[in-house]
Amino acid sequence: MYNIIQLDNGLRIVLESIDYVNSISVGLWVENGSRNENKINNGISHFIEHMLFKGTKNRTAKDIVESIENVGGQINAFTGKESTCFYIKALNSHLELALDILSDMLFNSKFSEEDIEKEKGVIIEEINMSEDSPEDVLLDLHSIATWGEDSIALPILGTIKTVKSFTKNQILEYISSYYIPENSVLSICGNFDMKTIKSTIEKFFGMWSSNTKKITKYSSPKILNNNLFRKKSIEQLHISLGIEGFGLGNDDVYPLILLNNLLGGGASSILFQKIREDKGICYSIYSYLTAYNNTGIINIYTGLNPVYACEAINLIKEELEKFTKIHITDDKLIKSKEQIKGSYILGLESTSSRMFSNGKSVLFLNKINTPEDIIKKIDNITKNKLEEVMEKTFSKGILNSSFVGENVNLNLLSNSIGKDVIAFKNQQSKLI
């Protein structure tokens, strides 16, 4: 049973009651992430996420996590480009405790100068750890290749320079601007009493108010044609190729998911079979979709020995060209639909995954797409719709790319891409 309600202060609440489970998942979503930032305060959303765990007027940092872990629960958070989510999963008998902890973190965090300085060191180490991950470096580099100077291209963690610059006043001012009830959603899924849940939530969140009404609005960034290379001393060359996709809320995403699965969604996909299995020149190759407000991208990823880079790119382009002219049989269409439905339903097997799905949907789209709704949309995919979506996406070809590694001839790489591949200078003063 689903329900969406709203408190007088503007906080939206999405509820999914499941009476046959013994758990409860509670997520506090705020429509704020690195896309809301600029080059001066980049990383502040992620920094705030960390700081809300550093202690309140009522609990120490240890008390916050211990209160949940002592009852067998889990507490965590994440920051993305467009949202931050703080969440707790526990036995349903501890619903009030979960709401108490989340509200205490939100309203009573201390933000002591000492804790701020300590956490700067923690996050700088997190940035350094990300630098050691070629996939993370590639993802941030491809965001720049795709969206350039738009704030959506900013890294979620920020930079060492920006993180070192954060002050208490800057943090508190940012929170007052974006951490407001009108910008937020409380998502609850599990076994609870639907009749009393609103009054229980009001007890903890009913007094939330703000002087600011800075409702998040997003640009509509153009997808660019940049091709960037970053030198890094690693064995493999990591490659990401970008194709135009769809933004959040576009129902054409379902036929696009079907097409993407055929091209690079798994071990039976075209790219995996042709480039890994037949040619044996890589271990990992796949494609995936990323959708944001007003924009979206399809990425093809592979990691391989640099000597095979041009061959791999030429093969990908060749297979992509064939794919845009593919004829999908009735039998293949039925099987592909079943594959998507199976993956989707299996992904909703826990209260936490359903809480995440509901919270994100209401935060950005202000509605719930029920499993029944999604399955109906998948079942309604036609061959004509697939052709229409193909024309809007894969048929446009590779628009941008990024590469991380070394021992690469940029001239040969440029010839394979068909455009100049530019060596990118890291903003943290590392020439690459």
Using a 10 angstrom Cβ sphere, with 0-12 exposed, 13-18 middle and 19 or more buried, the burial of residue 199 is exposed
Q: What angle do CA 121, 124, 127 make, to 5 degrees?
A: 155
Q: How many CB atoms lie within 10 A of CB 27?
A: 25
**CA-CA-CA-CA dihedral for 319, 321, 325, 328, to nearest 10:** 30
Read off φ and ψ for residue 87, nearest 5 degrees.
Answer: -140, 155
What are the φ/ψ torsions at residue 198 (nearest 5 degrees)?
-65, -45
Q: Tokens 């205490």 map to which residue? A: 104
Find out whether 83 and 48 touch, Cβ atoms under 8 Å: no
Residue 70 near residue 90, CB atoms below 8 Å? no
Query: Which of 31, 49, 182, 319 is flagged as catalytic?
Result: 49
Task: Assess whether 49 carries a catalytic annotation.
Answer: yes
Residue 166 backbone zone (phi > 0: left; psi -120 to 50: alpha; other: beta): beta
Tokens of residue 238, six digits: 């990591």
Residue 212, classed as helix, strand or coil, is coil
Chain position carrying tokens 């060749």: 318
Q: What is the dihedral of CA 410, 413, 418, 421, to 10 degrees?
A: -40
Structure tokens given for 248: 């959040």
Active site members: 49
